[in-house]
Amino acid sequence: MDSGGLTIIDKDPIRANCPHHATIRFTVEIVKRNTDGSLDTTPLSVKTFNRYGISNAAEFTLDGLNEADCIKQVKDKLERLNG
């Protein structure tokens, strides 16, 4: 809908009340542990990950009924991932 040069996307002008979508992306780095307990500075290559049938990156999405619901879902998902 056009309203004086502005496009109206939602009837509810309060952004927090509108449905929200979250995209969470992350990468995985695996490094060798040296004999002294320190960590090597070079992570495994993407080719090495692929050899095991996985990727070093992942993404998932969540949809919320509104801003608060979307944030709650993100928080819950991250807490479950962290154990």
Domain count, the chain: 1
Asked whether residue 7 is domain-assigned, the answer is no
Angle at 15 between CA 68 and CA 19, to 5 degrees: 60
Asked whether residue 30 is domain-assigned, the answer is yes
Tokens of 38: 């320190």
Asked whether residue 64 is domain-assigned, the answer is yes
8-26 average pLDDT score: 84
| SS3 of residue 16 by DSSP | helix
Tokens of 65: 């009924």
Structural domain boundaries, residue 38: 22-82
Asked whether residue 13 is domain-assigned, the answer is no
Q: What is the pLDDT of residue 12?
A: 61
Task: Give dist(CA 40, CA 56) in Å, integer.
Answer: 17
pLDDT in tens, 25-76: 999 999 999 999 999 999 999 999 999 999 999 999 999 999 999 999 999 9
Asked whether residue 49 is domain-assigned, the answer is yes
Asked whether residue 9 is domain-assigned, the answer is no
Task: Give dist(CA 19, CA 69) in Å, integer.
Answer: 9
